[in-house]
Amino acid sequence: MAGAVSYSGVDQVAPTGPFTSTISNPLTLLVPAAPGEVVVDVLAADGTGVSLTGGQTQRWIGDSVIILSDQFDAVGIGSEKAGASLGLATSYAFTLFWSGVLGGVALKPAAASPGACPDF
C-alpha cells in the first residue's frame, strides 16, 4: 500500500521539523508545529471503520481486505492540518483495532519573497 502528496512553497534547506510517531491506541499524535507550517501524517494499521478525529484533512487512503485464518483490514491514510503555536494533534479512531503506527512531520514554509504567496 502506498500514497503520495505533493507540496510547493516548502523550505528547501530545512523542509521539515522532527519526525514524531506513536503505536498507542487510540492513535493520537502531537507534532511540534508553528503557525504557517503544515503537519503531514501517515497512518498504517490493521483495523476496520477508521475515521479522522483530530480535525485534519484526508489526502489519500488505501484499503485492502486480506483473509488468512482471520479477516483483517489493512488501511493506510495520509492527512494534513495547519500548524498551531503549541503543536498540533492528529488522531484516528476505529470501530475495531488490532495494531497500527502513526507518524508525522511539520512542513516548514519557504521564506516569502516580496510579492510571493506560499502555496500549501
Average pLDDT score over residue span 51-64: 86
Buried residues in 12-41 as b, exposed as e (16+ CB within 10 A)? eeeeebeebebeeeebebbbbbeeebbbbb
- With 80 as the cut, is the pLDDT of residue 101 above it? yes
What single-letter amino acid sits at 47? Answer: G
State whether residue 92 is helix, strand or coil. Answer: strand
Band of residue 52 on the pLDDT scale cut at 50, 70, 90: confident
